[in-house]
Amino acid sequence: MESDKSQNRVWDKKQITLGILGLGVVGSGTVRLLMENAAEIERKIGLPIVIKKIAVRNLDKPRDVVVDRALLTNDPCEVIDDPDIDIVCELIGGVEPARGYVLRALKNGKQIVTANKEMIAKEGQSLMEEASRRGLDLQFEGSVAGGIPIIQPMKNALAGNRIEQVMGIINGTTNYILTKMTREGADFGEVLKEAQAHGYAETDPTSDIEGFDAQYKIAILASIAFTCRVPVNEVYCEGITGIAAQDIAYADELGYVIKLLGVAKRTADENRVEVRVHPTLLPKTHPLAFANDVYNAVQVKGSAVGDVVFYGRGAGSGPTGSAVVGDIMDVCRNLRYGATGRISCTCFERRSIVPMDEVITRHYIRMVVKDQPRVMATISKIFGDYEINIASMVQKETFGTETDIIWLMHETPGKSVSGALAIIRDLPIVVEVSNWIRVVD
């Protein structure tokens, strides 16, 4: 592969020129911040940032930010191939054509800033390796947790630590829905419609509510934390569509809240790591339990620093635009002093992802059973046969001839629980196994 380290020289221009791909929610926030804070940004980096061209799909679409129409083009190549543009900021989202645009821009010697979580999760390693070969920057702070600084702190401030675990609420839509369900006792479908009406959920909310958005983000964080490639398709992903109002209420009675968590942790085997996304019962006293509504929170456990929690708005025009502008400014400083490409791809270890059925956690199980003798004894014996240690069992209100039973289990591999439940579901005394949710203490 050809190599081009020519970018590593002291800057001799009077400005730094920026080209932007996309002027949607994040693009508008980025441009607005660059314009409103232009003087202060110039003082901080020592040179003005000039936006030369913005590529958009529709030239006539109304924008959330006022820009000179002469800056707009519907041809991305006018940004990517312009020899006067120093930094290309990719804010269109998705894997293609974004990946192709970024790769072409790198081959043209452009520094890259992106907020594209899906592209980074799926193609980030190859793109970062390409940037490294050419001595170029590829920054992506805006791809995870919106305005919360998390990627740069992990790559810089916490770099001296051995990161043991990263766990977080990294999707604002699902956090808003679960918060409303908790506060109002409402059903999932009802709250989802309200979230869509307020603009907190997309018309097609699949990526959020099925956990895919969080899956991309935890894959990115895990790859940084454990210095290895994390194939996103190997990350276990379970969304919140199965969470019912009863689960929220019962969790509350037991001293827990339910959150959609992304979890990445080391194991005793150095060659394996856990990376997963699923609904989780969190104790009400847990640091992440206090993140409500559209807010995100990420807890990082380092060998030297211990637990560090990052909290703030995880999405939106302003917060994500803030992260993007921070990256742009960092690249500008690197350009000025010939220091681009300082932090290249750190995925230099080979580790495998632990299958979910081997992951050991505590468990919450809700089932509806017939209200008759020896039901508890029969079900308890099956759990015992699978070496599942019961922490507590609560029988809830009886409805006619049926009743809800809530089980809390001690730490057990997932395959033991799934094996036991497969048998329990077929018992004539069991109406249904209504839910199975993992528990973090």
Positions annotated as catalytic residues are: 217
Give the rounded distance of the alpha carbon of 80 from its chain centre.
Answer: 28
CA distance 223 to 213: 16
Q: Are 188 and 177 in contact (CB under 8 A)?
A: yes
Cα atoms in the 13 Å half-sphere on the side-chain side of 28: 10
CA distance 395 to 407: 9
Find the helix packing angle between 317-336 and 38-45, rounded to 10°: 30
Q: Are strands 16-21 and 87-90 parallel, antiparallel or unpaired?
A: parallel
Q: Are 323 and 192 in contact (CB under 8 A)?
A: no
Q: What are phi and psi of 93, to 5 degrees?
A: 80, 170
Q: Please, what is the Cα angle at 425 between 208 and 211, to 5 degrees?
A: 10
Q: Is 81 exposed, middle or buried (0-12, 13-18, 19+ CB in 10 A)?
A: middle
Token pair for 370: 């017939």
Residue 368's CB is within 10 A of a number of other CB atoms, namely 17
- The side-by-side arrangement of strands in the sheet containing 111-114 is 72-73, 49-55, 16-21, 87-90, 111-114, 138-139
